[in-house]
A and B are shown apart, each in its own frame.
Chain A
Amino acid sequence: MRVVGPPLRQVLGETLSELAGRDTRIVVLDGDVGSSTGGAAVETAHPGRYLQAGIAEQNMVAMAAGLATVGFVPFVTTFACFAVARALDSIRVLVAQPGLPVTIVGGYAGLLTGMTGKTHQIFNDVAVMRSLARMTVVAPADQIEARQAVERLAALDGPAYIQITREPSPAIFDEDYHFELGRAVVLRDGDDLVLVSTGVQTTRVVEAAELLAARGVSAAVLHCPTVKPIDEDALVEAALGVGLVVTVEEQSVLGGLGGAVAEVLADKAPVPVKRLGIQDCYGESGPNEALLEKYRLSAARVADDVERVFSTIRTRKGPAAARSRG
């Protein structure tokens, strides 16, 4: 087991507070969930730059756009479900279309939303946001990457969406790590297949790759913290070396990272792609471990599913293909 670090939401609050201290253009808008998203730290550190917008997400995002036109660099903080689903038109018309430098922070991203259930879980926020022209979409894996991603987005001259999760999660990068927007990172080499992942799910995928290795399956891991623009070159390079790509995400299998990867590889390096993630369904409340098991996102379930897919492909290719792997 890896060392579990603080939740990314805590990192978000700390990073935004530091940024606000360095750069007077940074403002943080809150849709009345600052005590949950981590944003509250900014209110403590820089009360004048913490803009409570109340429980009114469409208005909050529109206000952020207005603030951006007069030189501010706004971070809009709320839950991913409300940011994307309630405020989508504000994001589309006032942020994405004019290309304003507003970062939408989707807090409580993914499956683990603190026992709240399906109303507070959104699994297609990455799919929706990456389908907006001009939008940058980022899902950091751990604390180090989250900090650097937030810093990077503060300097981005354009709209962005970043997923930030609620629960404590493992650290996988060290202080030497350098996050680069739009660049994927090879976390592990492997000969049989490539696992492509994003967000904190990557921490479970790394662990799944270790489990697979113990079962004789050599899986590479490619982490894509930036889902848009996706690192096409890294995907193509990784796919050309193996006969199978498996995407894994704490999102719906429709249109998210899996969709992005399938689009790129279909165009540039056609290889079999299997998409793992949450099926075409809504979530539910429950303890974290139970949710990860049921929705097959835990390291063990991912390893099981990957192994099954891999054996199917190998069987289909026949013993010659299997032998040629050496």
Chain B
Amino acid sequence: MSEGAEEGELRALACDARETVVRAVATARGGHLGGPLSAVDALVVLYFRVLRIRPEEPTWPERDRFVLSKGHSSVALYAVMALRGYFPLEEVMTFDAIDSRLQGHPDMTMLPGLDMSTGSLGLGFSAAVGIALGASLRGSSFTTFVMVGDGECNEGTVWEGAHVARRYRLDNLVAVVDENGLQQFGWRDPATGRRARPYEAAELADRWRAFGWRVLEVDGHDLRALTAVLRESRARTGAPTVVVAHTVKGKGVSFMEDDFSWHSRVPTADELACALEEIDVARRALERAR
């Protein structure tokens, strides 16, 4: 497959995932949208191009591990896992329903394929440090990927773990920061009256660099660039790697983009129709281009 065709396939998958995310949250009448939509593209690239996994054997011991530390974006992970073949796509519509395996925040005791239960921010990251340390002690060659939010980087455990990962030279650990520029509410920017970014321009990358991590940056919605950078992130360099993915919260649905209020809002029927229409337009444009 040509690079262009590969990218087209990923973009189509991302459209499918976004549609599934929006439908699932609307069906559940709960959950989150902004964060899942910013994370979808990186998740698609990870699950379809980067992670060494066996969806038909989710507990394969030598699989790469993936921890969604920003657990409130679970619905995006479920959509991508379903598309990848872990379970039927229809099951994503049980998201957040009583007795569903697809809990509001990922629950590893209910859904095979989840490498850690997450939801209390900052802790999944620290658990991933433990997983990577375990792999290193065992001599296992798998890579541990963990996705954190930029707001999540407020949590002290992220930096506790970043320090320890560097101490143990865990170059089998890759953190992906979904830097979508907004947190649930965050600080008010006195100059604009809008919500301020969790971290200013280069602040986040600088922090990781200061903790001794190898820092890669990427446009988190450029699927070709994401593929290249996330593949590169696996390289063993003697230091843990962070990929700072610059993203847009609510990406893919114009009226949700860059608006903190869509962090966990449920769309009305009209909003749902508009959102699905936008995603469909994007998908049809892709099909024409192919």
Interface residues of A (CB under 8 A from B): 27, 48-49, 51-54, 56, 58-59, 62-72, 89-90, 92-94, 97-99
Closest chain-B Cβ to A283's Cβ sits at a distance in Å of 27
Please determine whether B163 and A58 come into contact, CB atoms closer than 8 angstroms. no
Please determine whether B117 and A93 come into contact, CB atoms closer than 8 angstroms. yes
6 residue pairs of the A-B complex, CB under 8 angstroms, read A63-B129, A63-B133, A65-B116, A65-B127, A69-B130, A97-B109
Please determine whether A62 and B157 come into contact, CB atoms closer than 8 angstroms. yes
B131 contact set on A, CB distance < 8 A: 66-67, 69-70
A97 contact set on B, CB distance < 8 A: 107, 109, 117
State which of B46-54, B118-126, B254-262 sits at the interface with chain A.
B118-126
Please determine whether A72 and B161 come into contact, CB atoms closer than 8 angstroms. no
B82 contact set on A, CB distance < 8 A: none
> Closest A-chain residue to B131, C-beta based?
A66
Give the docked Cα–Cα distance between A48 and B133 (Å). 11
Give the docked Cα–Cα distance between A228 and B43 (Å). 41
Q: Which of A49, A62, A90 has the most CB of B within 10 A?
A: A62
Closest chain-B Cβ to A182's Cβ sits at a distance in Å of 23
Give the docked Cα–Cα distance between A313 and B117 (Å). 51
Q: Among B107, B116, B129, which residue has its beta carbon within 8 angstroms of that of A59? A: B129
B contact patch SS: helix
Please determine whether B160 and A56 come into contact, CB atoms closer than 8 angstroms. yes
Please determine whether A63 and B119 come into contact, CB atoms closer than 8 angstroms. no
A66 contact set on B, CB distance < 8 A: 116, 126-134
Q: Among B123, B140, B164, which residue has its beta carbon within 8 angstroms of that of A93? A: B123
A59 contact set on B, CB distance < 8 A: 126, 129, 157, 160-161, 164
Q: Among B65, B127, B156, which residue has its beta carbon within 8 angstroms of that of A94? A: B127
B115 on the A face (CB < 8 A): yes
Query: C-beta contact mask, B149-160 vs A, less than 8 Å → 1, else 0?
Result: 000000011001
B108 on the A face (CB < 8 A): yes
Number of interface residues of B (CB under 8 A): 34
Interface residues of B (CB under 8 A from A): 65, 107-109, 115-120, 122-135, 137-138, 140, 156-157, 160-161, 163-164, 167
A69 contact set on B, CB distance < 8 A: 108, 115-116, 127, 130-131, 134
Please determine whether A90 and B109 come into contact, CB atoms closer than 8 angstroms. no
Q: Which of B65, B109, B132, B137 has the most CB of A within 10 A?
A: B137
Q: Other CB < 8 Å A-B pairs besides A58-B123, A66-B129, A90-B126, 7 of them?
A: A56-B164, A58-B157, A62-B127, A63-B161, A70-B134, A97-B117, A98-B109
> Closest B-chain residue to A70, C-beta based?
B134
> Closest A-chain residue to B105, C-beta based?
A93
B127 contact set on A, CB distance < 8 A: 62-63, 65-66, 69, 94
Please determine whether B123 and A99 come into contact, CB atoms closer than 8 angstroms. no
Please determine whether B137 and A48 come into contact, CB atoms closer than 8 angstroms. yes
Closest chain-A Cβ to B190's Cβ sits at a distance in Å of 32
